[in-house]
Amino acid sequence: MLNNDERFQMNKFFLKIKKTYTDSFGLNNKDMDANEISQFIRNQLETGQALFTEKEPPPPSETKPDIDAQVRQFSLTQFENIIDELNNQNPALKLLKGSRRDMVQQLNDANLYNVENFRTINRLRGATAPALDPLAFSLPAVPTTRPTTAPLSGLGIKNQVLPQTVIFGKIAIDLNKLYYQNVLSIKRHNGNKIIGHKNKRVSDNFVEIVFKMFDNKPITQSDLKNIKDELMIYDNLIVQSGLHKSNKIPTTIEQTSEQMKHRLGLITGEIEAGNSNKSLLTELHELLFKMVRVHLISKNAAAAYYKNIKDTFFTL
């Protein structure tokens, strides 16, 4: 939850934060819990402060930034990492990728160019660079016996605490929740929640597959048949982690992508035909951001699509 200082800052800029949140996720988005909303507000206050204050023109004597020097600070890939991370922290920024000079100019225009902060971002991404091979994962003191038909809670090892943040390619997983509660909780490498990504309850078969990856055991088509009702969650996990690039881990991403596109067309068609049931708007939002997570659409495009439908068909 927010501390007193964060609450004061939130109240000070409440209207602008509320508008940013509504435009990005919808006002009554049940896919967002209290912790995720708090993290969104905290990100706004930490990284978007310049958006909420009046910018004063620089004094005449102030030296303009040396763009050439700034461009040389980081490689193209590093600047792209910086843009990705800043957009993840604050979707309202809507920073675009381009040439190094273009990206530097954007960062200067938004008063966001900060060498130390950028070094930290790249250091974190470099230290936890996504490994596309499950062999890169190390699980200290994790039991090797996995449940088959027996519930996880019946293994008699509840007193053993497993890591809450374990690197899983580009993301991290709360292994303790997955093992003991059958809850898939996805995080960033630093342990922070990913905004808009709710925890999901999964089956024992799903847990079995994840631990097989950590044990470097092959995932078979038979394994995937055992989670046929959870394939969208599975594909989402594998694509978000970047492990779909590994030949060792099969996915059904083409099939689930087509299913999502088809459902998007059906929902949009119903709304355009006059169905004003707000449950359709809720489903539309959830579906769009599922598509974001498997890279079918950008986050900015999803937010814009949702806002357009909401403003056109659901505005009082």
- Distance, in Å, from the CA atom of 316 to the CA atom of 283, rounded to the nearest integer, reads 20
Residue 53 and residue 107 in one domain:
yes
Residue-wise pLDDT for 139-161, tens only, equals: 333 444 444 333 444 444 444 66
Q: 225 pLDDT band (50/70/90 cuts)?
A: very high
Mean pLDDT across the chain, nearest whole number? 77
What SS3 class is residue 186?
strand
Residue with more model confidence, 263 or 30: 263
Q: 13 pLDDT band (50/70/90 cuts)?
A: low
Residue with more model confidence, 157 or 7: 7
Residue 285 and residue 243 in one domain:
no
Residue 86 and residue 139 in one domain:
no
Residue 113 and residue 182 in one domain:
no
| Residue 250, C-beta contacts closer than 8 angstroms, at least 6 positions apart | 219, 220, 221, 224
Residue 261 and residue 179 in one domain:
no
Of the candidates 10, 93, 15, the one whose C-alpha atom is nearest the C-alpha of residue 47 is 93
Q: Is the confidence at residue 242, as pLDDT, over 80? A: yes
Q: What predicted TM-score, i.e. pTM, was given to this entire model?
A: 0.51
pLDDT more than 70, % of the chain: 74
> Which residues make beta-bridge pairs with 186?
173
Residue 90 and residue 149 in one domain:
no
Of the candidates 247, 250, 199, the one whose C-alpha atom is nearest the C-alpha of residue 34 is 199
> Mean pLDDT across the stretch 92-98?
86
- Distance, in Å, from the CA atom of 114 to the CA atom of 107, rounded to the nearest integer, reads 9
Residue-wise pLDDT for 110-140, tens only, equals: 888 988 888 877 766 553 333 334 434 433 3
Residue 118 and residue 154 in one domain:
no
Last residue of a domain, one of 80, 106, 127: 127
Q: How far is CA 93 from CA 50, 63, 197, 300, in A?
A: 10, 25, 20, 10
Residue 111 and residue 149 in one domain:
no
- Distance, in Å, from the CA atom of 19 to the CA atom of 21, rounded to the nearest integer, reads 5
> Mean pLDDT across the stretch 246-260?
86
Last residue of a domain, one of 127, 152, 169: 127
pLDDT more than 90, % of the chain: 24
Residue 302 and residue 200 in one domain:
no
What is residue 309's predicted lDDT score, i.e. its pLDDT? 93
Q: How far is CA 103 from the centre of its chain?
A: 22
Which residue range forms the structural domain that includes residue 267? 255-313
Continuous H helices in the chain: 4-12, 14-25, 34-47, 67-72, 76-89, 100-109, 115-127, 175-181, 204-214, 221-225, 231-241, 253-272, 278-293, 299-313
> 52 with 15: CB under 8 angstroms?
no
What is residue 44's predicted lDDT score, i.e. its pLDDT? 73
Measured from the Cβ of residue 192, the count of other Cβ atoms closer than 10 Å reads 15
- Distance, in Å, from the CA atom of 60 to the CA atom of 104, rounded to the nearest integer, reads 22
Q: Is the confidence at residue 49, as pLDDT, over 60? A: no
Residue with more model confidence, 24 or 51: 24
What is residue 280's predicted lDDT score, i.e. its pLDDT? 92
Query: How many domains is the chain partitioned into structurally?
Result: 3
Residue 187 and residue 112 in one domain:
no
Last residue of a domain, one of 251, 283, 300: 251
> 211 with 160: CB under 8 angstroms?
no
> Among the listed ranges 19-23, 104-108, 118-122, 189-193, which one has the minimum average pLDDT value?
19-23
Residue 26 and residue 93 in one domain:
yes
> Mean pLDDT across the stretch 192-217?
86
> Mean pLDDT across the stretch 50-66?
55
Question: In one letter, which amino acid is 62?
Answer: E
Residue 265 and residue 246 in one domain:
no
> 131 with 137: CB under 8 angstroms?
yes
Q: How far is CA 165 from CA 137, 201, 249, 292, in A?
A: 12, 18, 21, 23
